[in-house]
Amino acid sequence: MNRYEHLAQVLGERIEQGLYPAGQRLPSVRTLSTEHGVSVSTVQQAYRSLEDRYLVEARPKSGYFVSTRKHLAALPAVCRTPQRPVDISQWDLVMGQITSRVIPGMVALGGGTPDLTLTSLRPLNRAMARVAQRTDNSMLYYDIIEGSKELRDQIARLMIDSGSHIDAENLVITTGCHEALSIAIRSVCEVGDIVAVDSPSFHGAMQTLKGFGMKALEIPTDPITGISIEALELALEQWPIKAIQLTPTCNNPLGYNMPDDRKKALLRLAQCYDIAIIEDDVYGDLAYQYPRPATIYSFDDDGRVLLCSSFSKTVAPGLRVGWIAPGRYRDRAIHMKYISTGNTATQPQLAMVDFIEEGHYQAHLRRVRNQYQQNLCVMTNWVMQYFPQGVRVSRPQGGFLLWIELDEKIDTQRLNRILEPEKIQIAVGSIFSASGKYRNCMRINYARLDENIDQQAIKRVGERVHQLMENG
């Protein structure tokens, strides 16, 4: 633990123990710097990390204050996972999830769609229309297998924000992050191989492992710091693990950012056991802190990290424009790209080039990051208000997804069935586990909140949870 983390821990404990009550002004940066014998920037960093955990609020020109949120919900527990690789189940549940999100009138709290109604997306419509009318008809042709060079140049530039200095040659455009993950998995694994995953983990990646005949080994994961390095090391000693697949930044579903030192420790472990890391960074640009956290990929110096991402969460999923930075596995990844779709649709790629080049991507990011961070507070408050006491909720540091852990008695599949006639859908927890754990958990989306519709929906979900608690 480094200095700022230590200081943040000390201050955090004092706040949680009530030594500094809600709303109270906290010691100034200079005071703490003197008191603890650390630099001003270390104190600032500590305060920022407490802000990320909603313990502290910064007020312009006044300093730092203890958060006035009535009480902070408890964090989800770190789950005991099966200590062996398992065949992945839950496909039927995932399919149910996919199917019901498109039922007309459904309040799809369980979906992974960002807010697509913002005016900051308008320039994209114009870019799409302009590309469609280009006289060279470029949108009708196959692009090269790696995807548009112009787009890869732009993505390489964007990746500087996450600490990577990458050449466009080392990127391959894909049909969304789904195809990137699919390519990554097939580039490093074969049928029967074991892949270690964070837990809870993105169901799409796990279903991909399932579809290609691999087994998942779930590793206990902390809701604030991410996958347990210690548990992972034990697993690596015990099993012939081929790769680690995880979402370390703006995790889906928990929302944490793994601290840099833990990302580096993970990488060292992968080097030590000579295995690959498949890093899903699809929500990474939606981190509430600026600059956004570094990727594991950015620390990698021997090409073992395959970074997978897309514009599906930051811009729009319907574009199906993603990418993979496959490191040393480039040749294999190109072959896998060829046999999965041949090429990526041309027009959305060309439109994204314009959208980024003209500065609209960064402007849109600023807009949604603010909105999502604000909505998080609103949604957390609704959950605290309407759900039974003892509910545990995640503390996302980016993205637009909240993880909720209910009493062990509650089965969220049953809850979802009860909610169906009321046209409300949540994502049931068990799809986020290879072994069907998290039956008492759910994931909800707070990208776009309508005070009427969504507040009513959360209230209704809360009431149904109360009823289930009472009826046992």
The residues of the shown chain that bind a second copy, judged by CB under 8 A, are: 91, 94-95, 98-99, 102, 113, 116-117, 121, 124-126, 128-129, 131-133, 137-145, 174-176, 178-179, 182, 186, 190-191, 204, 207-208, 210-213, 316-320, 334-336, 338-348, 351
Q: Which lies closer to a second copy via its Cβ, residue 97 or residue 257?
A: 97
CB of 234 to a second copy, least distance (A): 29
Q: Which lies closer to a second copy via its Cβ, residue 262 or residue 337?
A: 337
CB of 355 to a second copy, least distance (A): 12
CB of 224 to a second copy, least distance (A): 29
Q: Which lies closer to a second copy via its Cβ, residue 99 or residue 452?
A: 99
Q: Which lies closer to a second copy via its Cβ, residue 161 or residue 280?
A: 280
CB of 336 to a second copy, least distance (A): 6
Q: Which lies closer to a second copy via its Cβ, residue 292 or residue 313?
A: 313
Q: Which lies closer to a second copy via its Cβ, residue 131 or residue 404?
A: 131
CB of 345 to a second copy, least distance (A): 4
CB of 354 to a second copy, least distance (A): 12
CB of 125 to a second copy, least distance (A): 5
Contact 74, 394 (CB under 8 A): no
CB of 98 to a second copy, least distance (A): 5
In whole angstroms, how far apart are CA 240 and each of 84, 226, 227, 285?
A: 11, 22, 19, 33
Q: Which lies closer to a second copy via its Cβ, residue 131 or residue 250?
A: 131
Q: Which lies closer to a second copy via its Cβ, residue 187 or residue 373?
A: 187
Given its phi and psi angles, is residue 156 left (phi above 0), alpha (psi -120 to 50 degrees) or beta?
alpha
Q: Which lies closer to a second copy via its Cβ, residue 209 or residue 449?
A: 209
CB of 193 to a second copy, least distance (A): 12
